[in-house]
Amino acid sequence: MFGSKNIFKEIILEFQEKPIPSLVERELVVKEHDVVCIIGPRRVGKTYYFYQLIRKFREENKPYLYVNFEHELLLEVDVRSLSNLITAYIELYGSKPQYILLDEVHVVDKWYLFVRRLEEEGYNVFITGSSSKLMAREIATQLRGRAISYILLPFSFREYLKAKNTMVDLKLAQYSNRIRSNILSLLREYMDYGGFPEPVLKRELYYELLTSIRDGIFYRDIIERYNIRRPYIMEAITRMLAENYSRYHTITGIHNKLKSLGINVSKSTVYEYIRILEEVLLFFYVPLIKTPVHEATRSPRKTYIVDTGLLNIYGVEKNQGKLMENTVFLELLRLKNNEPTLTINYWKDRQGREVDFVVSIRGKPRTLVQVTYELSTDNRRRELLPLVTGSTKLGAKKLIVITWDQEYNEKYMDKNIQVIPLWKWLLLKPEQQLAQITN
C-alpha cells in the first residue's frame, strides 16, 4: 500500500544505509530555521546539496530523515499518509529525527499541510523541488511566511574550479603571470561553457546534457506546467531574451518583433510569458532604480540568463563584455543568500549615462558597479562619468569597475574608484565580496 509504514521504513533504511556519493562542495550556507526551502532551476544540484547537508549531519551524529518523493514506491502517496513517515522513523530508531529533508516534495498534492504540521511540532524541515513546482511566491502563500528560502544556482567560478580539481592561491596569482594566465583561461572556459554541474563534470557529453537541461526546462517546467497552448510563441520569446542577454528588453519591443515575424499575440500574453520565464528561473530581469511608479513600469529591464552555457544551445553569438556582465550579475544574485535585503538595479539618466549595477542594502544604494572588458583612453570617460554622476544622485559611496585583468585605484572628479579584475573578484569568498560592497 502506497504510504504505509512498511513502505516508508523500507525507503528510510534504503537511504540510511547508502554511502553519500562524491560531490563538489557547494558554498551555500543555510541558517537553521523551522522550514528552509532550497529553490533553483532544474538539475542545478539541489538533491546533491541535500546530500551535502546529510553528510554533515552524519559527521555530527545528528538524527535526520531524508525522503525523495520521486521514489517509485511513493508515486501515489497522498498527504494524509505522510504522518506514517514520522511513525515509521520512530519505530525504526526509537526517537524522533531532528532534521527532516523532503526532496521533490511538490509531487505530493497539498504537501504544505504536512510541512506546516511538522513545523508546529518543532521539527527542522528542509524542502526542495523543481523550480516550476516550488516557486518563491507559492512557498510564501502555502507556508504562510513560515519558511526562509535560498537560491541555488549553477556553479560559481570558485565551485567550477573545485569541480576541475584546481586550487588557486589568490596571493600567488597576483604576482605570477603563469598562474594568472591559467586562471584567465579557465575563466574564459567557465563563461563559455557555463556552470551546470553535470555538463561540467561530464564534458564529453556536454552538448547532450545541456540540451537535455534546456528541453527539460522548456517542455516540462514551462509548456506542461503552464499549459502553454502555442509553444512556438514561448520559444520565440525565449530565443529573443537569450539573444538579448545583458541587454534591455521591453514588452512593446518584443511584441513588435513578434508581429514583424508574422506572430499574432497580445501584449498581455507577451507579459505573461516573460513572467513565466522568470518564475522558472531561466531569466532574471533587473529594473531601473528610483523612478516614479508609472515610469518604472515602462522603463526597459535588463535581461540576464541563469547560465551562460545555455547560450551555446540557443546558438547565440557571444560578446566578451556581455558575458562578463552576466557573470557579475549571477555572482551578485548569489550574495542574496548571505544578505536577503540586497537588491540589484541599474541606473540611467536622461543624458544616457548608465551604471550597470546599483547594489542596495535595506533599500539604501551602497555600491555602484560598472563592468567593462578594459578601461582605455577611448572609453574612460564613458565608463567613469556615470559612476560619479550616479553616486551623486543616489548617495552610493562605493564605486567599482570590474575589468578583465586590470587592477588599480582611480581618482576621477574627486571620486575614488576601485578597478578590480573579474577573476580576482570571483575568487573572493562570498563574505569577502559582501564586505566589499557593504563597507
Given a contact cutoff of 8 angstroms between Cβ atoms, the answer to whether 354 and 248 are in contact is no
Q: How many residues are listed for the chain in this entry?
A: 439
- The C-alpha cell at 192 is 563559455
CA proximity to 152, closest of 306, 301, 267: 306
DSSP 89: H
Vertex 180 angle, CA 178 and 185, to 5°:
95
Give the count of beta carbons closer than 10 Å to the beta carbon of residue 116: 18
Tell me which CATH code domain 5-151 carries.
Answer: 3.40.50.300
Q: Is 324 exposed, middle or buried, given 0-12, 13-18 or 19+ CB atoms closer than 10 A?
A: buried
- Give me the pLDDT at residue 76, please: 84
Q: From its phi and psi, is residue 372 left (phi > 0), alpha (psi between -120 and 50) or beta?
A: beta
The secondary structure of the chain in percent helix, strand, coil, rounded to multiples of 5, reads 50, 20, 35
Strand partners, 284: 304
Q: Which helix (H) or strand (E) holds 66?
A: strand 64-68
- Give me the pLDDT at residue 294, please: 44
pLDDT less than 70: residues of the chain: 1-3, 130-138, 140-141, 144, 291-298
Q: For 357-394, b where at least 16 C-beta lie within 10 A, e where not — what string?
A: bbbbeeeebbbbbbbbbebeeeeeeebbebbbbbbeeb
Distance of CA 110 to the CA centre of its chain: 26
What is the spatial distance between Cα 158 and Cα 167, in angstroms, rounded to a whole number? 9
Strand partners, 401: 370, 419
Q: For 61-91, b where at least 16 C-beta lie within 10 A, e where not — what string?
A: eeebbbbbbebeebeebebebbebbbebbee
pLDDT in tens, 263-319: 999 999 999 999 999 999 999 999 999 755 445 556 899 999 999 999 999 999 999
Vertex 246 angle, CA 256 and 386, to 5°:
105
Distance of CA 373 to the CA centre of its chain: 24
Give domain limits for the chain. 5-151
What is the spatial distance between Cα 67 and Cα 106, in angstroms, rounded to a whole number? 12
- Strands of the 99-103 sheet, one edge to the other: 64-68, 99-103, 124-128, 35-39, 147-151
Give the count of beta carbons closer than 10 Å to the beta carbon of residue 193: 18
Render 119-151 in DSSP notation, one character per residue: HHTT-EEEEE--TTTS-HHHHHHHTTT-EEEEE
- Give me the pLDDT at residue 9, please: 94
**Helices 177-193 + 320-334 axis angle, to 10:** 90
